[in-house]
Amino acid sequence: MSCWVVVVDDDVINLRMARTILSEHGMKVSVVKSGSQFLSFMETNSPDLVLLDLIMPDMDGFQTYEALRKWEKETERPRIPVIILTAETDSEAERRGLELGASDYIRKPFNPDVLLRRIENIVHNSDRIKDLTHEAAVDQLTGFLNKAGVTAELEKVCRNEQGALMILDLDSFKPVNDIYGHEMGDRMLQVFADLVRRSIRAEDIVGRIGGDEFICFSRKVTDEAVVQKMIARLNEQITLEAEKLMGSDCNIPLGVSAGTVLVSGNDEDYEELFRQADKALLFVKQNGKHGYALYDEQDDTDGGIGEDPMADMERLSVILDERNEANCALWLGQDAFVGIYRFMIRFIQTYHGVASKAMFTLRPLAIEYRGSVLNRLSEEFGDMLKNTLRKSDLMMQTKSNQFFILFPELASQYINNVAGRILQEWNRLGYADVVDVLYDFEVIDCTKDEKHGRRGSDNAGENRI
C-alpha cells in the first residue's frame, strides 16, 4: 500500500516499531517526537495520515490535534486524517478524541494487523472523499469547474493575484436548443469549452457558472489588448464551429460577449469584482454583442431615472430575456420564492387548478460523507434537479442538503414519474452509493379536498427515491 504516514510519539521504541511495520508494507514513514515538531513539519509537508500519541510532554495529543485543525483552517489546507494512539485503557480518552474529529483510535502496544487494516481503511476513505470532492466541483458537460467550485477558487485568487476576470456569455444560444434540440446545444457548449480551453494557459482558472455563461481568470494579464485578441479569436472560431455542427446555412448569430475587470490582487472582494464584470457584460449585450467591454469605475452610475422609459424597458428586457436559462426549473432564493409561491397558490385557488409540492433531502450514507462532501454533492444535486425538472417548476434550497419544489399543474398520479426521472439521473451521475435522496410530497387540488402523501422506500420513517 503506497501512502505517507507521520508518527508523532515521544517513545523511541514505539516510533521504531511503527516505522518497521509500516515500511515493510510499502509505506513512507516520517517520525517526530513532539507536537511542536509535528506542527513545524506540517508547514512544508503533506502526508496522507497521522498517527498521534496522546501522552507527550509540552503539548499532549489533544492540544496537538486542536492546533493542527486550527492551522489547517487558517491556511485553507485540507484536513488530514488522524489516528489517536494511547496506552490508556479507559474509554474517556477515546470518547474525547473521537468527539474532536479523529478518524480512529488504537491502543498501544498495537497489533500490526489491526494497525495496517485501520490505516488502509482510512486512507481508502480519504481518497474516496477527495475524488468525490473533485467530482462535485466539476461541471460534467464541459469538464470545467462548476459555479461552486470556481467561486471558491476565485475568492482566494482575487485577494492575492493580478489578472483579468472575464464573464463570457454565448450570444443567441437559446435558438440552438429551440431549433436543433438540447443534444445539439450540449455539443455546442462542449465545443465552446474546448475553444476557451485552447485560448487560455494551464495556470488560468475557468468555470461554468450558468447554462451558457462562463467565467475565466487569466493570471498576470493586465493588458486590455490580450483580452481583446482572445474575444475576437473566440468569436471567429465559434462561427466556424457552428457551421461545422449545424451546417453552412445555419443563420443563428452565435457569438461571444465578455465583461472584463482588471484585478490588482490587493485583497479585492470577488463578489464586487463579479458585479463589475457583469455590468461590463451587460454593456456589451446592449451595444451589439460579439465583443468585450472593460469595466470603468467612472461609468458605474445609475444614470437618470425615468429620462427615457423606452430605453429603460429595453435594458430591462435584455436582463430578463437574453440571459434567461431556458428549459429548466426556476431556482430562486427564499425572498423571491416566497412571493412567487404565494402568487401561484392564489392563482391555483382562484382558477381551481392543481399543483404538487415536494421536499427533497440528501442524507449521507456514512459519517465521512458529511460536511464538505455532502455540501458539494448537494450543489451537484441542485444543478441536476434544476435541469431535470420542467421550466414551469419552481425550486428553492431550504438547507444545504434540502430542496423545496412547487410543481404547477402536476397531479398526484404523476409524482412517481417525476421521482423516477430524478432518481434515474442521480444514479447516472454515480452518487447513489454516497447519499440517499429522500422526499415527501403534498398535492394541492382546489377542485377536491387537499391530499397529502409520502413516497419512498418501505423502511419506516424514510421516504427514499
Average pLDDT, the chain: 83
Q: Which of 119-123, 240-244, 322-326, 444-448 has the highest mean pLDDT?
A: 240-244
Q: What is the pLDDT of residues 172-197, one digit of tens each?
A: 898 888 788 888 999 999 999 999 99
Q: What is the CA radius of gyration of the chain?
A: 27
Identity at 441, one-letter amino acid code: F
Using the 8-state DSSP alphabet, how is residue 448 labeled?
Answer: S
Q: What is the pLDDT of residues 406-444, one digit of tens each?
A: 999 888 888 888 888 888 888 888 888 888 899 898 998
Residue 453: band (very low, low, confident or very high) from pLDDT cuts 50, 70, 90: very low
**Lowest model confidence (mean pLDDT) among 286-290, 320-324, 368-372:** 320-324
Identity at 276, one-letter amino acid code: Q
Residue 161: band (very low, low, confident or very high) from pLDDT cuts 50, 70, 90: very high
Residue 454: band (very low, low, confident or very high) from pLDDT cuts 50, 70, 90: very low
Find, among 85, 48, 91, 45, the residue nearest to 65 by Cα. Answer: 85
Q: What is the pLDDT of residues 374-403, one digit of tens each?
A: 888 898 899 889 888 888 899 999 988 999
Please, what are the domains in the chain? 4-136 (3.40.50.2300), 147-322 (3.30.70.270), 330-454 (3.30.70.270)
Residues 405 and 386: beta-carbon distance below 8 Å: no
pLDDT score at 204: 93
Identity at 43, one-letter amino acid code: E
Which pTM was predicted?
0.50
Dist CA 381 CA 397 (whole Å): 11
What b-and-e string marks burial along 361-376, b requiring 16 or more CB atoms within 10 Å of the CB?
Answer: bbebeeebbeeebbbb
Residues 157 and 76: beta-carbon distance below 8 Å: no
With a cut of 80, say whether residue 458 has pLDDT above it.
no
pLDDT score at 431: 84
Q: What is the 3-state secondary structure (H, E, C) of 52-121?
A: EECCCCCCCHHHHHHHHHHHHHHHCCCCCCEEEEECCCCHHHHHHHHHHCCCEEEECCCCHHHHHHHHHH
Rounded mean pLDDT, 276-284: 92
With a cut of 60, say whether residue 23 has pLDDT above it.
yes
